[in-house]
Amino acid sequence: MENINDLIEYNINFIKNKPNFRIRRLELKNLDGNTLPTNDCISLHKILIEKSLIFESEHKDLFLTGMSEEIILNGGWLNHLRIEKDKIEKAESKEILEIANLKLQKESSEYSKTLRQKEEEIRNLTRDNLRLGNWDIRFRWYIAVTSFIIGFIIKYFIDK
């Protein structure tokens, strides 16, 4: 069978252009406008029904569904397929971007957590450094005072 999408496009337009908007199953056409072989008609008929483009009456007449009429108004089956493909690609692209966004948010969260930990370490080290600095100052004062007192004691003994 020829390109199925081109056949679908041709046949839904063919049915739309019929005076009473109906045909028989074996009246489906190829792209040249000739009736398809019986097996191809049956196969195309099944495909059109599966895609909800036609329905079959109890008298075995084929009619367009509302969906196929809407597809025809919006530019035809091939345009419908392009639009659906674009929607799928946009959804996939959106999903990829959402995943990338979530990864970036996770990395940002981990970075913020690491940053908070480092800031806490800096605060602790600064506090420890100030304690050591204060201890060093006190120790130097003790040495200075002790040296001063020892100096007085030595002078006292030397002067005696």
Residue 55 lies in domain: 4-73
Q: Are residues 51 and 84 in the same domain?
A: no
Which among 17, 72, 8 has a CA at the least distance from the CA of 40? Answer: 8
Q: What is the pLDDT of residue 2?
A: 60
Q: Which amino acid is present at 142? A: Y
Taking the model in full, what pTM does it have?
0.61
**Average pLDDT of the chain?**
89
Evaluate if residue 14 carries a pLDDT over 90.
Answer: no
CA geometry: angle 35, 39, 43, nearest 5 deg: 95
Q: Are residues 66 and 43 in the same domain?
A: yes
Which among 50, 47, 7, 41 has a CA at the least distance from the CA of 23? Answer: 41
Q: Which amino acid is present at 1? A: M
Evaluate if residue 1 carries a pLDDT over 60.
Answer: no
Distance CA 113, CA 110 (A): 5
Distance CA 33, CA 43 (A): 17
Last residue of a domain, one of 19, 48, 73: 73
Q: Are residues 84 and 156 in the same domain?
A: yes
More confident residue, 21 or 46: 46
In this prediction, residues 48-52 reach a mean pLDDT of: 90
**Over the stretch 103-149, which tens digit does the pLDDT of each residue have?**
999 999 999 999 999 999 999 999 999 999 899 899 999 999 999 99
For the chain, what is the radius of gyration of the CA atoms?
A: 44
**Band of residue 3 on the pLDDT scale cut at 50, 70, 90:** confident
